Every structure is written in C-alpha cells, then in structure tokens.
Amino acid sequence: MTAQPLFTALLASCLALPAGYPLSAEAPRGSTGPVSRGGLAREPLPDAAAPPFILTPSTHPIRAIHLTCWNAGSPKYRRWLDNVLNETVINAVVIDVKEFHGEVYLPGAASAKQAGAYVNAVPDLAEWLAELKKRGVYTIARQVVFKDNIMPRKNPSLGVHNHLGELWYDHGHTTWLDPYNKDAWRYNLLIALQASKLGFDEVQFDYIRFPTDGHLQSIRYSVPHNRQAASQALVDFLGQARQLLHPLGTKISIDVFGLTTSDNSGMGIGQRIVPMTEKVDYVCPMVYPSHYYRGEYGLPEPNREPYKTVYYGLKDAVRGLGPLAQKLRPYLQDFSLGGVRYGPEEVRAQIQAAADVGIQDWSLWNAGGSYTLQALKTAATPGPKPYVIQISTP
C-alpha cells in the first residue's frame, strides 16, 4: 500500500524503544464526584466565532455505548448488543483495550505481555470487530494513557516520582506514567498501533492528562513542570499519535473533563481543549451532570438538571472551538451518582440538549455496560429556537 514507506519511517522515528522492548505491532472515570480546579482561576475559552458558529449537521452521526473488555468477550452480552444495534439508534461501540489499572486486552500486544499487563479477555477480538464492521458498526478502542498501575512498577523509570525519588501514588494508590517521558509515550503508541492493526476504526485516548488527586505537591516529573509545559506535552503526544495512526486510516479521539469546554487554563492537568482538538479527529468532553459542582452555570444542583448542564457545557464548547466544534462527540451520563437516579428522562434530556446545540454525535458512559434502552429508540431533533432561548444562562 502507498502508506507503507511513510508508516515504516514513522515507526522508526516515533517508536524507537529503549533496550529490552519488543517491537510489535468501574466507578465513573475521572473522579467519583465533581471536578475540582485545584484552586486555579478560570481562564475563559477564546470566543472563536463571532457571529456564533453554526454546526453543520453530521451526515452519519456516531451514537456509541461504552463496553468493558468483559462485556466484549461475553457471548451473552454480544447477543444483548445485537438486539441493541437492531432496535435502537446505537451504531458504534467503545471497547476498553487498556484500563487505568494498566491491564491491556489486545491480543498481540507484545510489550504489554512482556510487562505482565496483558489479559486475554477477548481472544477473538479481531474476528468480532470484522463482524461488527460488516454490520456497519463503527468501532472505537478506548485506551487509558497515563494512569497505569502496572508499567511504572515494572519499569520505574517511566513513572511519576515523589520528592524522595520513589514512585508517586494517587489517592487510590495507583501509579502514573510520566506524561513528559517519551518512552512512556512509545509504550502507549505501540498499544494504539496494535488496536489499529486488529481493525479498530478509531483509538480514543482517555486519561490523557496529568494527575488530579493525591499529594500533588510532592510530585517530581522528569522535566520542569508548569502549566504551559504540561499542555504542550499532551499536544505533542497527540501529534505523534496522529503521525502514526492516520496513514493507517485510523482516527483519533480524546476524552477530556467536561469543564474544559468552559475553562482554557488547562485546569492544572494540561487539558487545553483547543490545541488538543487541533490534533485529533474527535473530542469527547465528559459532560456528566453528576461531575459538576453546585452553582456551575448558575445551577443550584447540576446533577438534577441534566438538560441545562449539558446544554450550557456544549454551548461553551461550540463558542470556544469555532469550526473545530465539528469534532465534538460528548460523553453523556447513563449512570446514577450523587443521590440522583438517572433513567430514561434524564438520559434523553442530555441527548436532546446536545441536539439543541447542533450535536448529533455522542457516546453514553456506563462503567458496567448497562444502558437505558428506552431513551435510545429514536434520534433527537433540535427543539424550537424559543425553547433554547428560554433556558439561557441568567
């Protein structure tokens, strides 16, 4: 194929591994509650479009649900999924291929197997992906990047350290790969490459950020750390992923905190949504209403107002991203947290909010792969303009 020489060159330049590396190709994530900005003042997103940018409707919108590796490997769950694909608007799946504890579920991921990270959860993954593609199902590999509880223990030089030179642990006693460390990048890029080779249409990078919890003041990275350096490291990683995966026809997406749609500071974790979005095909803000503090967007309890929370968050994203907003594919909440039960009305309200902003592409998140199918029977169409104006922020 014509891309092969370029691919070979990129593999040599991007994936030159240190000695000893083989070359071959469930609580809600992010937090268990509202996202803290770590005391940083909000830096508004630039007003990228004046007059307001109008999204062009997707001709083939992606509407996905998240599956665990164990869902994907279960014959019983696959039969359930067949019914979902036949009876709802779902036409895409997000499948875990690497999780935050460091386990990797991709057959043939040699570097992960060498590190003791490979788990044979979906032995027939390539064959199943081929079957899904025949049905027109879009397949997305979800790969947790820097939160990793295996590789830093196996190779401490790749990990985040504390002021004593020991591995640093977050509040969950989990280690992290150093987002500045190029060898940590290469380990993850090899995994993404294997996902592409097995047939995934897209690789979705999650935990593409710096740590948010634990004794952050004791962290010592491999290079001087500041807000600009953190943001640039993530952008540069995505640039290498793009160079590697795009010639193979594999798209790239990123999961980012919901508040990045309204805050351009990087939030202390390096996630500046505009420069990151420039490097990828899709950006997936996790606009879960349960993850917003009281008072956000002027709402007393965002978790009890799923429509308004999602609407305001995505409206900010469109305003800040301008033409890049065509890449938005938000994650919506299909789980209950914080004392508020989410059912068909709450899930549907979020889908409607996205539609009213002009976004028909979305993914639903449930950590266990259990979904509210009553909310997914039909697609949402934008409501009348007066309705949108009526609920605008005071």
Structure confidence at residue 197 as a pLDDT band (50, 70, 90): very high
E strands within 111-250? 138-144, 161-162, 202-206, 219-220
144-182 pLDDT, tens digit per residue, is 999 999 999 999 999 999 999 999 999 999 999 999 999
Q: What integer best gives the mean pLDDT of the chain?
A: 87
Q: Has residue 17 got a pLDDT over 80?
A: no
The predicted structure's pLDDT at residue 341: 97
Which CATH superfamily hosts domain 63-285?
Glycosidases (3.20.20.80)
Q: How many other CB atoms are found less than 10 A from the CB of residue 110?
A: 15
The whole model's pTM is what? Answer: 0.86
Q: How many other CB atoms are found less than 10 A from the CB of residue 155?
A: 17
Q: Has residue 350 got a pLDDT over 80?
A: yes
Q: Has residue 280 got a pLDDT over 90?
A: yes
The predicted structure's pLDDT at residue 235: 98
Q: What is the DSSP secondary structure assignment for residue 101, as one 8-state letter?
A: T
Please, what is the angle between helix 306-321 and helix 344-357, to 10°? 20
41-81 pLDDT, tens digit per residue, is 445 545 444 445 778 878 899 999 999 999 999 999 999 99
User: Distance (Å, rounded) from C-alpha 241 to C-alpha 280?
Assistant: 9
User: Distance (Å, rounded) from C-alpha 139 to C-alpha 46?
Assistant: 33
Angle at 350 between CA 361 and CA 383, to 5 degrees: 80
Handedness of CA 188, 155, 267, 240 (dihedral sign): negative
